[in-house]
């Protein structure tokens, strides 16, 4: 695994900070001039045909999939030929033009206490075992660059995460070990340092260490105070892996308009889940949420999460991983420009992951691994 390779960066001594190595990456310009978008679909064809054409070039990067826990209790399954016991398998991922997806490591209630760290290790192991068992369909990817490589190989990228905050056992050393095992997203809820009251001092240190490593913060379900604090402190954009618009549907994980606007300013990413509970029972309901988030947060800040195999009911026609063309067709009917759809499905997730990689590389040149302890900071 690339992360285990011996990296030979020399520690920068205090006092030598003015003499940083030449390899320090150039800071990104404030705004990268957008390349003109070249349309790929024939405007004369039906919305569904256009959706397929666009997704063929700009596949879906799906923000949340609950397959690991679902598979854990299946005695036998075949993801390669198709598995009716779950909503996600390789044929349906292909049919739905899914190019990358995050596999959730969240644990069910009751496992988020003392056992959380060990159970998370087991989840990581399970995901690796499953992905390696289907090398023709799935590949593990750890960075935006690897996702691109995997796509060029015609495979679907699997990213490890999000895990729940409890998986850290309140220790930055454990965060670093989980990152070394491939964890790339962490949900900032369910720990004393990331609660209704917001982030504690240790919570902020966790976030800074996540930035240094390249672990993306997931804010779905986090309190408004936590969300705001993350936007203020984080050097890299944050995700909401499962959040729709609260203005349209009052669910606690949905974001109110003021937070959506702040997310837009922070260039975060709100990934709307395809769940009846959070978005409503029809494709049009989901499209309403996407319209709303795009309007309030911006086209660069909206994405989708299938949320399949996570134990929730889905809107009609959006019941499994093959459904995305229906959703995109609906957006085309509503007049979404192709360029915005390309951002929604693929471009925005790539931006967030690239940003996380870049932030980590820059931070590692400036910052040593944090030795902070929760007892010192939160006492």
Partner 1 sequence: MTSPSLAEARELLREFPVVDGHNDLPWALREQVRYDLDARDLAGHQNAHLHTDIPRLREGGVGAQYWSVYVRSDLPDAVPATLEQIDCVRQLLARHPQDLRQALTAADMEAARAEGRIASLMGAEGGHSIANSLGTLRGLYALGVRYLTLTHNDNVAWADSATDEPGVGGLSAFGREVVREMNREGMLVDLSHVAATTMRDALDTSSAPVIFSHSSSRAVCDHPRNIPDDVLERLPANGGMAMVTFVPKFVLQAAVDWTAAADENMRAHGFHHLATTAEAMKVHRAFEERTPRPVATVSTVADHLDHMREVAGIDHLGIGGDYDGTAFTPDGLNDVSGYPNLIAELLDRGWSTSDLAKLTWQNAVRVLGAAEDVARDLQATRGPSCATIESLDG
* Residues at the interface with partner 1 (CB under 8 A): 1, 4-11, 114, 117-118, 121-126, 128-129, 133, 169, 171, 173-174, 176-178, 180-181, 369, 371, 373
CB nearer to partner 1: pick between 117 and 248: 117
State the minimum distance, in angstroms, from the CB of residue 66 to partner 1: 18
CB nearer to partner 1: pick between 128 and 295: 128
CB nearer to partner 1: pick between 4 and 313: 4
State the minimum distance, in angstroms, from the CB of residue 222 to partner 1: 23
State the minimum distance, in angstroms, from the CB of residue 117 to partner 1: 4
State the minimum distance, in angstroms, from the CB of residue 7 to partner 1: 7
Task: Encode burial over 105-116: b for 16+ CB neighbours within 10 A, e otherwise.
Answer: bbbeeebbeeeb
Per the structure block, which two tokens stand in for 306? 């299938």
Helices 144-152 and 348-366: crossing angle in degrees, nearest 10, is 140
CB nearer to partner 1: pick between 112 and 320: 112
C-beta atoms surrounding 342 within 10 Å: 21
Q: Three-state SS for 62? A: strand
CB nearer to partner 1: pick between 55 and 119: 119
CB nearer to partner 1: pick between 10 and 31: 10
Instruction: Judge whether 181 and 4 are in contact, CB under 8 Å.
Output: no
State the minimum distance, in angstroms, from the CB of residue 363 to partner 1: 14
Nearest alpha-carbon partner for 159 in 173, 138, 177: 138
Q: Give how far Cα 369 sits from Cα of 205, 213, 269, 289, 340, Å.
A: 11, 9, 27, 40, 38
In this structure, the strands spanning 194-195 and 198-199 are: antiparallel
How far is the C-alpha of 132 from the C-alpha of 145, rounded, in Å?
20
State the minimum distance, in angstroms, from the CB of residue 198 to partner 1: 25
């Amino acid at each position: 695994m690339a992360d285990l390779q011996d990296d030979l960066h020399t520690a920068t001594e205090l006092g030598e900070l003015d003499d940083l190595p030449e390899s320090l990456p150039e800071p990104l310009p404030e705004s990268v001039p957008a390349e003109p978008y070249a349309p790929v679909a024939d405007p004369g064809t039906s919305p569904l045909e256009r959706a397929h054409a666009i997704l063929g070039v700009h596949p879906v990067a799906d923000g949340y999939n609950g397959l690991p826990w679902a598979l854990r209790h299946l005695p036998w399954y075949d993801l390669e030929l198709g598995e009716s016991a779950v909503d996600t398998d390789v044929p349906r991922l292909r049919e739905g033009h899914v190019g990358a997806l995050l596999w959730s490591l969240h644990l069910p209630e009751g496992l988020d206490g003392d056992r959380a760290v060990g159970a998370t290790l087991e989840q990581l192991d399970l995901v690796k075992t499953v992905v390696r068992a289907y090398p023709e369909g799935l590949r593990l990817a750890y960075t935006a660059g690897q996702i691109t490589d995997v796509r060029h190989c015609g495979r679907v990228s699997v990213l490890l995460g999000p895990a729940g905050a409890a998986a850290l056992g309140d220790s930055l050393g454990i965060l670093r070990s989980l990152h070394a095992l491939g964890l790339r997203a962490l949900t900032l809820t369910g720990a004393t340092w990331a609660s209704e009251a917001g982030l504690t001092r240790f919570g902020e240190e966790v976030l800074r260490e996540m930035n240094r490593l390249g672990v993306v913060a997931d804010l779905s379900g986090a309190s408004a105070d936590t969300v705001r604090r993350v936007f203020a402190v984080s050097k890299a954009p944050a995700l909401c892996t499962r959040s729709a618009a609260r203005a349209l549907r009052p669910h606690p994980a949905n974001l109110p308009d003021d937070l959506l606007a702040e997310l837009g300013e922070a260039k975060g990413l709100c990934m709307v889940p395809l769940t009846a509970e959070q978005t409503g029972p029809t494709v049009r309901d989901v499209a309403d949420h996407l319209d709303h988030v795009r309007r309030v947060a911006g086209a660069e800040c909206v994405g989708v999460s299938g949320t399949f195999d996570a134990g929730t009911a889905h809107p009609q026609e959006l019941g499994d991983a093959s459904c995305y063309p229906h959703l995109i067709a609906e957006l085309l009917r509503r007049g979404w420009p192709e360029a915005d759809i390309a951002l929604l499905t693929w471009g925005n997730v790539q931006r967030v992951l690239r940003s996380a990689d870049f932030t980590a590389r820059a931070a590692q040149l400036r910052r040593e691994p944090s030795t902070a302890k929760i007892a010192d900071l939160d006492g």
